[in-house]
Structure 1
Amino acid sequence: MFPSLRPILNKGGAGRYISRAHSAERLQPIAERHIDLMYAYEAILDGLPAGLPKERLEALMPYLRTEIAKMSETILSLGGTPPSGVRRVPGGLDLPEADSAAGRPALDHVDALLDAERDFGGAIRNEVDAVHHQERTRAILTHNAEASDARRGALRDLAADLQTA
């Protein structure tokens, strides 16, 4: 469906949605990527010394965890089984070796997170545009894509500050 027609055709729930089971199935890989992204943040945080960069990354984590919980809740409400992340191997993102020169975190890690956020946000947007999910599911996906954009902005600011430090 054309994105410009979506608001008109979806008034009052009009239009054809994919089944709940199909929605849950399609959200599964997105939820897994979300968990991988959280593990990547945690891996970088574990390697950072105490200080402002670590605090700034830690400030993003509660929001990231809430988004993962909301996605899991959505999959459950659609009748699916969300990934728990328990059996996943931490560090699903290939991170470059830390450069501890001058005692500061490697910009490569922040760049790796930026790339991961860009890919993740793009995957969510592709899902929203490609499939006619129910409006609640669509709203959660859109919110998570916007949250990914906000995290990317925070990471870009952090990278800029690290370059000048």
Structure 2
Amino acid sequence: MPNPIKEALLNRGWAGQTLSRSETVDRINPLIHQHIELNHHYGAAVRYCDDARVVDVLERLQKTARTDVGKLSETVLSCGGTPYNGTDLSPEDFALEGSLGDLFGELHGLETAFNDALADELDLEHQMRTRGVLQAIKSNSEDRLTALKALQRRIGESA
């Protein structure tokens, strides 16, 4: 868990033990895998939904999410590792069934699980650059959660 006293005293610098580069690779690659799967679920939602305004929102959310995968991959590369690339996953493996409400419920659950995984990582002593990347991606995930809640309300009202 990060030390708030060190953070307050050192502001942007860091002192003490942080995770090694290899540990960082081992911790970030599962996040990349989880995020790529989440992105495939967003893609399935875009294919499934027929409301143009909802699709537009989902596509904007997905664009940011794809960028975030790139940030995580760059972090792994900068630590000398090979980032997970998702080539073993196929978009067809992420077909969604049920109502549109079920779809957004599932997306919300997956996004919440990803956000929780990011929070767990932020509790560790990552290097400052990695912490910054994780915080930015967590913020983007929280934005997606807010948007998904709004979309769920919109779908509930129109049903």
The 1:27–1:92 alpha-carbon spacing in structure 2 relative to 1, beyond 3 Å, is farther
| Matching residue's letter, 1:58 | E
TM superposition score normalised by structure 1: 0.87
- Quote how far apart the aligned CAs of 1:6 are: 4.3
What displacement does 1:48 show?
Answer: 1.5
* 1:32-70 alpha-carbon deviations (Å, 9 max, x no partner): 001000001001111122521111111211111110111
Residue 118 of structure 1 corresponds to 112
Aligned-pair CA distance for 1:89: 4.0
Change (3 A) 1:144 1:93: farther
Structure 1 residue 2, shift from structure 2 partner: 5.0
Residue 103 of structure 1 is matched in structure 2 by none
Which sits farther off after the overlay, 41-50 or 61-70?
41-50
1-structure distance, mates of 2:31, 2:9: 26
- Which amino acid counterpart does residue 145 of structure 1 have in structure 2? K
8 Å contact from structure 1 (residues 40, 92) kept in 2: no
Rate the CA distance shift 1:6–1:125 in 2: closer, same or farther, 3 A. farther
Q: Distance in 2 between matches of 1:147 and 1:92?
A: 25
1:14-163 alignment, distance < 5 Å: 14-90=15-91, 95=96, 97-99=97-99, 106-129=100-123, 131-163=124-156
Matched residues, number: 157
**Amino acid corresponding to residue 139 of structure 1 in structure 2:** G
Q: Which has the higher helix share?
A: 2
SS at match of 2:4: coil
1:102 is aligned to none
Q: Distance in 2 between matches of 1:73 and 1:31?
A: 11
Question: 3-state DSSP class of the match of 1:133?
Answer: coil
- Contact kept in structure 2, 1:36 and 1:92, CA below 8 Å: no
The whole-number CA distance in structure 2 between the counterparts of 1:94 and 1:50 is 18
CA distance in structure 2 between the partners assigned to 1:94 and 1:76 by the alignment: 31
Counterpart secondary structure, 1:122: helix
- The 2-side partners of 1:18 and 1:10 are apart by 18
Under a length normalisation based on structure 2, what TM-score does the superposition of the two structures give? Answer: 0.90
Contact 2:44/2:94 (8 A) holds in 1: no
RMSD over aligned CA atoms reads 1.9
> Helix, strand or coil: the match of 2:77?
helix
Gaps of 5+ in 2: none
Q: Percent identity, please.
A: 32
SS at match of 1:13: coil
